């Protein structure tokens, strides 16, 4: 199956006075049409950076220093800003964490929806307004035909995020980059918003790149998951395999450290230490100082994504050329 989005060896760098920091280091993955790819990792792992690079909204001085991004085979990472603007919104929608900063406080939500649709779709004002009301109804805003003329501050946080979802989907994009779409919301509202996002993207056949640190949200929503660590993809595979039987020691540790809701444990499995800073990423595998299975090769040579049982993991334990027993710890 041809991928909708293909990211190949993406490198993002930040030049600073003390040298260049590499925020993303050869990140590669694909998203199939209609697929939900979850991207997880801890703060600073590079998941939001990956999303920003795809929609062409890297904050300067950050820049793409290598690799390429293809949307349906068309290269989009080197497009001039004018061209990229036609893709962003029209072909790739975006949902961010904080709905208050995504919406313009000076315009009514109806204005923002119709403006987006009229920029990207060939429709007149009356049609755009009709569709805007339709979208607000679809995302579950009560009394949509009245609320369309309300300003963002007149909505609650959960309702605002619904408006943002309508805004991201109204130009009928082929995929949506959703960066922590529910992190700012309370759990009961989060469940509503996730259910909504799932239903709408399934109905429209939209692909989703769902970036979050909440494994529960990923487990329920995503088809496949990419686990990021220190600017690299540590493991990628079907959601059930990564959650239940992660191959990479980091993903396994991350899953184990999530407090279970279903029972009480005496001691939570923890990963000692912390993720390295960008200016001090260790040689070889970035996870080697914290890894319980580390051996000499990990400290020297960087592993690429290798075939593990059900997933692909960037870990030397899965090198079929030089097999190695997992240490028992």
Binding footprint of other proteins on the chain (CB under 8 A): 42-43, 156, 158-159, 186-192, 194-195, 198, 213-217, 219-221, 239-240, 243, 253-255, 257-265, 267-272, 274-275
Q: Specify the residue, 55 or 286, whose C-beta has the smaller distance to other proteins.
A: 286
Tokens found for residue 107: 């315009």
Q: Specify the residue, 65 or 189, whose C-beta has the smaller distance to other proteins.
A: 189
Q: Residue 140 Cβ, how far from other proteins at the closest point, in Å? A: 9
Q: Residue 251 Cβ, how far from other proteins at the closest point, in Å? A: 11
Cβ atoms of 185 and 134 within 8 Å: the answer is no
Q: Residue 283 Cβ, how far from other proteins at the closest point, in Å? A: 21
What is the Cα–Cα distance from 27 to 46, expressed in whole angstroms? 10
Q: Specify the residue, 171 or 233, whose C-beta has the smaller distance to other proteins.
A: 233
Q: Residue 254 Cβ, how far from other proteins at the closest point, in Å? A: 6
Q: Residue 320 Cβ, how far from other proteins at the closest point, in Å? A: 28
What is the Cα–Cα distance from 98 to 179, expressed in whole angstroms? 9
Q: Specify the residue, 274 or 327, whose C-beta has the smaller distance to other proteins.
A: 274
Question: DSSP string covering 142-183, please?
Answer: TTHHHHTTS-GGGS-HHHHHHHHHHHHHTT--SEEEEESTTT
What is the Cα–Cα distance from 267 to 251, expressed in whole angstroms? 19
User: Which residues 6+ apart lie within 8 Å of 166 measured at CB?
Assistant: 113, 132, 135, 136, 138, 139
Sheet holding 5-16, edge to edge: 19-31, 5-16, 63-71, 74-75
Q: Specify the residue, 54 or 196, whose C-beta has the smaller distance to other proteins.
A: 196
Q: Specify the residue, 17 or 263, whose C-beta has the smaller distance to other proteins.
A: 263
Tokens found for residue 79: 């497009």
Q: Residue 88 Cβ, how far from other proteins at the closest point, in Å? A: 29
């Amino acid at each position: 199956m041809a991928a909708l989005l293909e990211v190949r060896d993406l490198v993002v760098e930040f030049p600073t006075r003390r040298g260049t920091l590499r925020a993303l280091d050869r990140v590669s993955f694909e998203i199939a049409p209609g697929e939900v790819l979850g991207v997880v990792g801890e703060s600073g792992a590079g998941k939001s950076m990956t999303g920003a690079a795809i929609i062409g909204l890297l904050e300067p001085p950050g820049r793409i220093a290598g690799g390429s991004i293809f949307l349906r085979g068309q290269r989009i990472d080197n497009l001039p800003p004018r061209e990229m603007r036609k893709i962003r919104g029209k072909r790739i929608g975006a949902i961010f964490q904080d709905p208050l900063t995504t919406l313009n406080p000076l315009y009514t939500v109806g204005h923002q929806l119709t403006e987006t649709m009229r920029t990207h779709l060939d429709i007149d004002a009356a049609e755009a307004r009709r569709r805007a009301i339709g979208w607000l109804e679809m995302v579950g805003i009560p009394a949509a035909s009245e609320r369309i003329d309300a300003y963002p501050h007149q909505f609650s946080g959960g309702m605002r995020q619904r408006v943002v979802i309508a805004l991201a989907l109204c130009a009928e994009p082929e995929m949506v980059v959703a960066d922590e779409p529910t992190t700012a919301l309370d759990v009961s509202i989060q469940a509503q918003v996730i259910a909504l996002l799932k239903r709408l993207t399934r109905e429209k056949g939209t692909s989703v790149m769902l970036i979050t640190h909440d494994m529960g949200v990923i487990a329920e929503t995503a088809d496949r998951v990419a686990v990021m660590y220190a600017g690299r993809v540590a493991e990628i595979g079907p959601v059930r395999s990564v959650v239940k039987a992660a191959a990479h020691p980091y993903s396994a540790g991350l899953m184990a450290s999530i407090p279970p809701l279903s029972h009480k444990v005496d001691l939570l499995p923890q990963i000692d230490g912390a993720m390295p800073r960008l200016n001090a990423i260790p040689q070889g595998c970035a996870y080697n100082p914290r890894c319980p299975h580390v051996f000499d090769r990990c400290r020297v040579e960087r592993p690429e994504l290798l075939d593990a049982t059900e997933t692909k993991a960037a870990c030397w334990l899965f090198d079929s050329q030089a097999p190695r027993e997992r240490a028992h710890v």
